[in-house]
């Protein structure tokens, strides 16, 4: 398949490496699964890298091969949309440590011929960024017109601007933060403990049994999903409504531990559907990577130092009901960018959808991104 198709193409590349990791380990080979949309122009100046969120994947604008659902950002990417394959060469890769084709705990360890499982080295957001840089080198792309991401994808976008400032013309960081808070680490630890407490986890060695720890992973997803929503959104959508009315003949209520409330049924559905498309060990590794993320730590504890001398133009977007990565986190990044004399614009948008707003129908977000990219020559 040629690199100039205007339509989504799924690809997989096995790069020899080695990739030096922050842990001190060397990873080789490095497998990267990715999709592209559009044509790379003659001087390779129209490349836009999309970085996915925690449990996202490379299927950003094409149907998911497991669920059959449309790509997770089809509202933003497509003909006539802010990121347009007619103008942009769009790349989205599965993050290092994930489970949709890139190197992760489910990958085969060449030293043993068996899945790595928990022998896979611990990774960081910076490691994910360096793996993406290896992919861009493979594709012959020296500089990105833009790197765009929300949530964990926003962390990667910040990482790109800090680690490879000469390779990033512009960066769009949505509903994200420059470090993981204690509250976020706590929620992730609840999820990890749910997985590891499942007897089917087997210390991570469940691949040959083909009987993964689905119960633990479902609970982890339920706990995390609560953080993606807002109290107002939950109240409006579910309130305290029950799944069914009391018995019409007797008027008696049922009491027990089934999913009596609609919100309980919703969370259980989210957990059950998640285990069909995601790997439990990958969930452990990727949540740990976000927990370790503290961009200022590598720059003497001062976030501004990460961006000093940067020619990258930044656009930051937050949402007023996002309590996972609240607006204060984006403001802290903007203050650091201002202190570093970097060019930055910032907007807080109103949405009832909480953190998940960046994935949902928020036309104003599209307008902001469209205006920013066009102002920067795309």
Residue 154 pLDDT > 60 = yes
Tokens of 44: 């390779």
Structure confidence by residue, pLDDT tens digits, 180-201:
999 999 999 999 999 999 999 9
Helix (H) or strand (E) holding 135: helix 125-139
Active site residue 320: no
Give, as one character, the DSSP assignment of residue 118.
Answer: G
Helix (H) or strand (E) holding 125: helix 125-139
Place of tokens 């066009």: 374
Q: Which residues contact 67 (CB under 8 A, 6 or more apart)?
A: 273, 276, 277
Active site residue 107: no
Mean pLDDT in the chain? 92
Residue 249 pLDDT > 80 = no
Q: Which residues contact 178 (CB under 8 A, 6 or more apart)?
A: 155, 158, 293, 294, 295, 296, 303, 329, 332, 333, 336
Q: Find the mean pLDDT for residues 161-170.
A: 97
Give the separation between CA 78 and CA 131, rounded to whole angstroms: 26
Give the residue, 183 or 238, on which the prediction is more confident.
183
Residue 245 pLDDT > 90 = no
Q: Find the mean pLDDT for residues 283-302.
A: 97
Kindly name the residue from 62, 93, 151, 310 that is annotated as catalytic. 151
Give the separation between CA 201 and CA 134, rounded to whole angstroms: 32
Residue 326: other Cβ atoms inside 10 A: 18
Q: Find the mean pLDDT for residues 144-156.
A: 98
Q: Find the mean pLDDT for residues 22-46.
A: 96
Structure confidence by residue, pLDDT tens digits, 361-376:
889 999 999 999 998 7
Q: What is the pLDDT of residue 247?
A: 53
Structure confidence by residue, pLDDT tens digits, 205-237:
999 988 999 999 999 999 999 999 888 888 878
Active site residue 322: yes
State pTM to two decimals.
0.93
Q: Find the mean pLDDT for residues 47-58.
A: 97
Going by their DSSP bridges, the two strands 47-51 and 30-37 should be labelled as: unpaired
Kindly name the residue from 198, 279, 355, 356 that is annotated as catalytic. 355
Kindly name the residue from 57, 84, 291, 322 that is annotated as catalytic. 322
pLDDT confidence tier of residue 252, bands split at 50, 70 and 90: low
Q: What is the pLDDT of residue 231?
A: 85
Give the separation between CA 134 and CA 93, rounded to whole angstroms: 11
Structure confidence by residue, pLDDT tens digits, 315-373:
999 999 999 999 999 999 999 999 999 999 999 999 999 999 999 988 999 999 999 99
Q: Find the mean pLDDT for residues 103-119.
A: 96
Domains of the chain: 9-180+293-375 (3.40.50.1820), 184-286 (1.10.1740.110)
Give the separation between CA 188 and CA 285, rounded to whole angstroms: 11
Residue 3 pLDDT > 60 = no
Q: Please, are residues 12 and 33 in contact by the beta-carbon 8 Å criterion?
A: yes
Q: Find the mean pLDDT for residues 13-36.
A: 96
Q: What is the pLDDT of residue 6?
A: 41
Q: Please, are residues 95 and 128 in contact by the beta-carbon 8 Å criterion?
A: yes
Residue 177 pLDDT > 70 = yes
Q: What is the pLDDT of residue 34?
A: 97
Q: Find the mean pLDDT for residues 102-130.
A: 97
CB neighbour class for 225 (10 Å; exposed up to 12, middle 13-18, buried from 19) = middle
What's the helix, strand, coil split of the chain in %, to 5?
Answer: 40, 15, 45
Percent of the chain clearing pLDDT 70 (strictly above):
95
Give the residue, 236 or 25, on which the prediction is more confident.
25
Q: Find the mean pLDDT for residues 59-85.
A: 93
Q: What is the pLDDT of residue 7?
A: 46
Give the separation between CA 273 and CA 373, rounded to whole angstroms: 35
Helix (H) or strand (E) holding 19: strand 19-20
Instruction: Tell me the C-alpha to C-alpha distance, in Å, between residue 161 and each of 44, 105, 311.
Output: 19, 28, 9
């Amino acid at each position: 398949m040629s690199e100039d198709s205007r339509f989504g193409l799924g690809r997989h590349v096995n790069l020899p490496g080695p990739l030096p990791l922050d842990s001190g380990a060397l990873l080789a080979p490095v497998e990267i699964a990715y999709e592209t949309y559009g044509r790379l122009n003659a001087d390779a100046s129209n490349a836009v890298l999309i970085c996915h969120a925690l449990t996202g994947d490379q299927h950003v604008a094409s149907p998911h091969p497991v669920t059959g659902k449309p790509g997770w950002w089809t509202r933003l990417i497509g003909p006539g949309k802010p990121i347009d394959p007619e103008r942009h060469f769009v790349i989205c890769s599965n993050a290092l440590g994930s489970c949709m084709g890139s190197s992760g705990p489910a990958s085969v360890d060449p030293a043993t011929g068996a899945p790595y499982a928990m022998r896979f080295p611990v990774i960081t957001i910076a490691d994910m960024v360096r793996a993406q840089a290896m992919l861009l080198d493979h594709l012959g792309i020296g500089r990105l017109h833009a790197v765009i991401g929300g949530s964990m994808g926003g962390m990667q976008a910040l990482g790109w601007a800090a680690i490879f400032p000469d390779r990033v013309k512009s960066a769009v960081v949505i509903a994200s933060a420059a470090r993981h808070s204690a509250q976020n680490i706590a929620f992730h630890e609840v999820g990890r403990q749910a997985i590891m407490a499942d007897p089917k986890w087997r210390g991570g060695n469940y691949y040959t049994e083909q009987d993964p720890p689905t119960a633990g992973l479902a609970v982890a997803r339920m706990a995390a999903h609560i953080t993606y929503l807002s109290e107002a959104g939950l109240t409006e959508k579910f309130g305290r409504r029950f799944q069914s009315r009391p018995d019409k003949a007797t008027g008696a209520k049922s009491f027990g531990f089934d999913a009596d409330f609609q919100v309980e049924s919703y969370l259980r559905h989210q957990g059950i559907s998640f285990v069909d498309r995601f790997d439990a060990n990958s969930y452990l590794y990727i949540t740990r990577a976000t927990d370790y993320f503290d961009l200022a730590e590598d720059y003497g504890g001062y976030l501004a130092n990460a961006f000093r001398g940067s020619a990258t133009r930044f656009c930051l977007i937050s949402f007023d009901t996002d309590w996972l990565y609240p607006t204060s986190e984006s403001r802290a990044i903007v203050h650091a960018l201002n202190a570093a004399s970097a060019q930055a614009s910032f907007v807080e948008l109103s949405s009832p959808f909480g953190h998940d707003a960046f994935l949902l129908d928020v036309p104003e977000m599209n307008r902001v991104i469209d205006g920013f990219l066009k102002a920067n020559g795309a």
